[in-house]
Amino acid sequence: MEQTTKKELAVSFLSDLSSMHRDRLQEIIRDIVGEQLAEVMYRYAKQVIEANPEKTTENASSMLILGYLIRVHETGDIPPENPPV
């Protein structure tokens, strides 16, 4: 079955990620994300989690969405803002 939705692609990737060997994951992070960007994301996540430790799950979800939006921004696929009516 061909995966066609964002949800299906995400579920498939997360499944692959959960079974991925740690060294392979580190290689992907190093080669694709880069150490500097990974450090920026780590510091941001730490700041957010420490500010509201009781909302860890919500914050984690928001950070996953933010990571996705960063990627969409990199590809130039964020649509322009609609002008006020």
60 found inside a domain:
yes
pLDDT of residue 26: 93
4 found inside a domain:
no
**Token pair of 47 as six digits:** 């700041």
Domain count, the chain: 1
63 found inside a domain:
yes
Q: In a 3-state reduction of DSSP, which class is residue 9?
A: helix
19 found inside a domain:
no
Instruction: Using a cut of 0.75, tell me whether the model's pTM lies above it.
Output: no
Helical axes 35-51 vs 56-74, angle rounded to 10°:
150
Residue in this structure with the two tokens 């909302």, named with its chain if needed: 55
Per-residue pLDDT 10s for the chain (85 aa) are: 565 898 998 899 999 999 999 999 999 999 999 999 999 999 999 999 999 999 999 999 999 999 899 889 999 998 888 877 7
pLDDT of residue 82: 84
Domain that holds residue 67: 35-75
